[in-house]
Amino acid sequence: MSSERLVVVGSLNMDLSVTVPRLPQPGETVSGADVVRGAGGKGANQAVAAARLGAEVRMIGLLGDDALGGELRERLALEGVDSGGVAQLPGVASGLALIVVQQDGENTITLSPGANHHLDVPALDNLTGGTVASPADTLLLQLEVPLPTVLAAARAARGAGALTVLNAAPLPQSPREVLAELLGAVDVLVVNETEAAGLLPAAHAEWAEQARALRGLGPDTVVITLGAEGAVAAGPQGACAESGFSVRAVDAVGAGDAFCAQLALSLGGGTPLPEAVRRACAAGALATTRPGAQSSLPSAAEVDALLDGVTDAAHVPGAAHDTDVPDTADGIGLPDAPHDTDVPPHETNEVHHA
Ligand code: ADP
């Protein structure tokens, strides 16, 4: 893959997880296994995902001046992410997620956003010197840092001619006006089913129809991820649906981040929407095959291998791209449930405007 340039403005956290026999009740103490530390935060996860997928990545964000901040910075560097736009704020704690996991996977998470919440618009200006992105860059945003900052970053990057991609997660309850402005300032919106329903409460029977309706809020392209069932998308050329890749999923953490990073890279590089969604689904699927957030993120070679296996086994290249079907939701079948074979079955349904 060519080396696309991606800028991520977003959160960085340290995740501290303890596995316990059962979750404690209020006031109770339960002993668990040793602490597992993992770098996290949607911003950092997507930055690392993009770097592993072959992009040149610059991260903009804030850490505390504590030991965790130093460690998170080092981990970014080890992944080859340019952390020149990440500062450590004196007297502030780094973002921290305290995760308690019951043996059956049920968990509780307590999040302390720490320095991430200090990323206001003046801080963004300081970190970027006023230039968030260059015309050839793709900007990838999430919602774990203050909304006005995300809006300012989107406007600056779009003003410079960069492609702006927003993963609207986690979806804030308020202020809706700023969120509405933000949706009008991005080119590509990526949401999961819950977020898609949260943005447009009048949910449509078909997810592809919901994606099309979400375009009405501003973004040119909308992608809705559907877990094991893949994703649907709607863009100026029409809608498409991509069935999920059949993999042995062990932990869905990181799947959405891998998906967003790959989608942003592909679209930034000019890949057509159906192909970009397909590659993003492969990246998301691979992230479910290993536990953890950043530890589960796949490389470009792994994505290529999964796609090649599929192409050889089941995909008929080009056929879907030539399909000339009226652009109606009825014409888009949602992907079949994944099969339980090792060769991932695969299907792309593309629908063009008539
Ligand atoms: P989020 O974690 O943000 O809710 P999803 O669960 O929809 O996101 O996952 C993102 C993408 O990862 C999906 O669109 C799909 O391509 C892939 N994915 C997720 N879970 C699975 C799974 N069990 N099997 C195969 N692919 C998956």
| Torsion sign (Cα): 303, 308, 309, 315 | positive
Q: What is the pLDDT of residue 203?
A: 66
Domain boundaries, the chain: 5-24+33-353
Nearest alpha carbon to residue 353 among 249, 264, 241, 236? 236
Contact (Cβ atoms closer than 8 angstroms) between residue 86 and residue 59 = yes
N- to C-terminal Cα distance for the chain? Answer: 32
User: Residues with beta carbon inside 6 Å of ligand 1?
Assistant: 192, 225-228, 230-231, 244-245, 247, 249, 252, 255-256, 259, 281, 284-285, 288
Residue with tokens 């780094």: 94
In sequence order, the 6+-apart residues with CB closer than 8 A to the CB of 97 are 13, 14, 15, 16, 40, 109, 110, 111, 112
* Per-residue tens of pLDDT for the chain, all 354 residues: 447 899 999 999 999 999 999 999 999 999 999 999 999 999 999 999 999 999 999 999 999 999 999 999 999 999 999 999 999 999 999 999 999 999 887 889 899 999 999 999 999 999 999 899 999 999 999 999 999 999 999 999 999 999 999 999 999 887 789 999 999 999 999 999 999 999 987 767 799 999 999 999 999 999 999 999 999 999 999 999 999 999 999 888 899 999 999 999 999 999 999 999 999 999 999 999 998 889 999 999 999 999 998 754 444 333 333 222 233 333 233 333 333 333 333 444 443 332
Ligand 1: which residue has its CA nearest to atom 4?
Answer: 192
Instruction: Kindly report the pTM of this predicted structure.
Output: 0.88
**Residue nearest to ligand 1 atom 26, measured at CA:** 285
Please state, in angstroms and rounded to a whole number, the distance separating the CA atoms of residues 76 and 350: 37
Mutate to test the pocket of ligand 1, among 263, 281, 310 (most ligand atoms within 8 A of CB): 281
Give, for ligand 1, the residue of 288, 302, 334, 343 to mutate: max count of ligand atoms closer than 8 Å to Cβ: 288
Question: What letters, b where the CB count within 10 A reaches 16 and e where it falls short, cover 300-328?
Answer: bebbeebbebbeeeebeeeebeeeebebe
- Catalytic residues, by residue number, are 257
DSSP string, 256-322: HHHHHHHHHHHHHTT--HHHHHHHHHHHHHHHTTSSSSGGGPPPHHHHHHHHHHHHHHT--TTTGGG
Task: Take atom 10 of ligand 1 and give the residue whose Cα is closest.
Answer: 256
Q: What is the pLDDT of residue 228?
A: 96
> Quick one: pLDDT at residue 204?
72
Give the pLDDT confidence score for residue 120 in this predicted structure: 98
Instruction: Classify domain 5-24+33-353 at the CATH class level.
Output: alpha beta
Q: Shortest CA distance to 235 belongs to which of 220, 224, 250? A: 220
